[in-house]
Chain A
């Protein structure tokens, strides 16, 4: 597998150095322990918002650090959760006296490391709330398992909570809002190809030219089902049906529709996905009131897409529309 890198062991660090060189007006980069922090952190009186996870999902999360979104992001190794010492330092760096919200995707590693970090931060007298996102309908939910993965809704939650924090709303409110976004959001993804981590150099799974994986996560793990490749209209119907029927979203609902590329799928195909999703939702009487289309939560060079829906109300719509100025997402 060909990759545009210098050294497989230096990928995360060198990418951080690139971010630092490119976006010094918005963020500062710390290398030991690794984190990307809003340039003007801590913002006094504002709830700090910290997220983090394995690298390889760019622009998530580091690309979303900036005014109106995250205060800090902790990058781990590729597809590996960051460690509690990173999260603790990030929490301390963004605490402006109003407490800190951890937005955590539901992966065992992320959850365990953030739990340890929250314990440590509380030990240092910082008020911390954690919200775990778990929007992936491909995984059966159960009290007895690791539960559903946190995927696309995380990006939207970071945007909406960031806006609420800018309004100086208290920690409990921002955390409650995060839970509401997660509760009203659902996602599902599919892959046309596997991805290759720089460390292994091998595809994460073998997929035939005429096959696809339905119900993938964001770490190159295989999906729930392997199927014959189908036209975009059929794939979108498959994903959207599972999403809409799960919440369920009903006729008359207004939604934010997020069509996300997994990293290796061109925008021309994502717009075809959006076309099909728009038609499908119209058929169900659901109105797309806001949308986001592009590569925001990726799995290295994997080809494929995920669809996320968020049921909107006036407050969520207003917070989505509020300004954000980050390296990867600008709303003005």
Chain B
């Protein structure tokens, strides 16, 4: 009932494929309220992340996540590079030396990552950013942990919370990031960062769902 280093490797690979599949959608969302590069930049970054993970031996989950973070920081650029880079670097710090994670371990890692994103980007809930998908996901994980839920169920609940948070960005007026320059014209569009963040958690369900059986 835990997430192994092999699962984490699979998750990173699956997220890279998911980003490629959604590249056009992410670019479209970013064209409406940003600068039309989110899908392209994330695809470039995740490709580098997969290469970095493949080049990292061993089953230290922290080392794998830090490798992803460093690849994103040096390959993505824009705001997404430092923000997603920080997410993975902080998750890596929280899991250094661990070769498997239970629900509490996973929730703690994600929480540390999201705290890092907030410290770096200074976004609050409802600023219309990736935080609007990530924070509810952490809260759902913690709630599931409190309920004594199984890992698979908890992952489902966190992805569902992220999806809800992502959709809730549509009516918001952006207060952070490039969309904020549009003021009221940012209303009515789904935030691209919240969308890629939801995909990350959705991919976790799909990859780690099998962890239930071990």
Mark A residues whose CB is within 8 Å of B: 33, 54, 76-85, 107-109, 112-113, 115-116, 138-140, 142, 144-146, 149, 197, 199-200, 202, 204-205, 217, 219-222, 224
Cα distance A138–B27 when bound, in Å?
25
Docked complex Cα distance between A140 and B178 (Å)? 13
Contact residues of B between 142 and 196, Cβ < 8 Å to A: 175-178, 180-183, 185
A202-B31, A222-B182 given as contacts; is B37 within 8 A of A112 (CB)? no
Contact call B40/A199, Cβ cutoff below 8 A: yes
Per DSSP, chain B at the interface is helix
Tell me whether A200 and B36 are in contact in the complex, defined as CB-CB below 8 angstroms, given that A116-B73, A221-B182, A224-B182 are known contacts: yes
B79 engages A81 (CB within 8 Å): yes
Contact of B37 among A82, A139, A199 (CB under 8 A): A199
How many chain-B residues does the 8 Å CB contact rule pick out?
30
Residues of A within 8 A of B40 (CB): 199-200
Q: Which residue of B lies closest to A77 (CB)?
A: B77
Partner of B181, one of A54, A76, A146: A146
Q: By the criterion CB–CB under 8 Å, are B181 and A139 in contact?
A: yes
Would you give 5 A-B contacts (Cβ < 8 Å), ordered by A? A76-B77, A81-B77, A81-B78, A113-B81, A138-B181
Contact A112 B178 (CB under 8 A): no
Interface SS of chain A: helix, strand, loop or mixed? loop
> Is A149's CB under 8 angstroms from B181's CB?
yes
Complex contacts, B102 vs chain A, CB 8 Å: none
In this assembly, does B35 line the interface, its C-beta being within 8 Å of a C-beta of chain A? yes
B74 proximal to A (CB < 8 A): yes
Which A residues lie within 8 Å of B182 (CB)? 221-222, 224
Residues of A within 8 A of B77 (CB): 54, 76-77, 80-83, 109, 113
Q: Name the one of A83, A145, A146, A204 contacting B81, with C-beta atoms under 8 angstroms.
A: A83
